[in-house]
Amino acid sequence: MRDNVDAICRRAMQPMLCAGETLGERHRGVAENKVRRLVTAPVGDRPAEWVAAAVIAYEPLWASGAGDATTPVEEEEACAVIREELAQPVGAGAAAMVRIQ
């Protein structure tokens, strides 16, 4: 994934990332860690301006096309985890600018 994000940066395109967990990961209680890893890997040492321009889709695999849907509480929790993870390398201000869908 890192190579793909590097290519996006070289072409000055807007980064769009997707993060989500499987149903098994959710049941095992590791969903939060999975989402954190998926968000951290492509961000790495990118500048705050790059991170602030990113769009991240929280898309749990168990809810995609399966007829199940996340609850508003689950979505809010996932968004909070994503912003918290992004704030570590670039600060809360840049993390707050990220559009999470």
pLDDT value for 13: 80
pLDDT value for 79: 94
pLDDT value for 21: 92
Model confidence at 1, in pLDDT bands (50, 70, 90)?
A: low
pLDDT value for 78: 94
Q: Is the pLDDT of residue 75 over 70?
A: yes
How many domains are there within the chain?
Answer: 1
**Which of residues 2 and 86 earns the better pLDDT score?**
86
Domain limits for position 92: 2-100
89-94 CB contacts, 8 Å cutoff, 24+ apart: 89/43, 89/44, 89/45, 89/46, 89/51, 90/43, 90/46, 90/47, 90/48, 90/51, 90/52, 91/48, 93/48, 93/52, 94/48, 94/49, 94/51, 94/52
The mean pLDDT value of the chain amounts to 87
Here the tokens at position 80 are: 């909070």
* Domain of residue 19, CATH code: 3.20.20.70
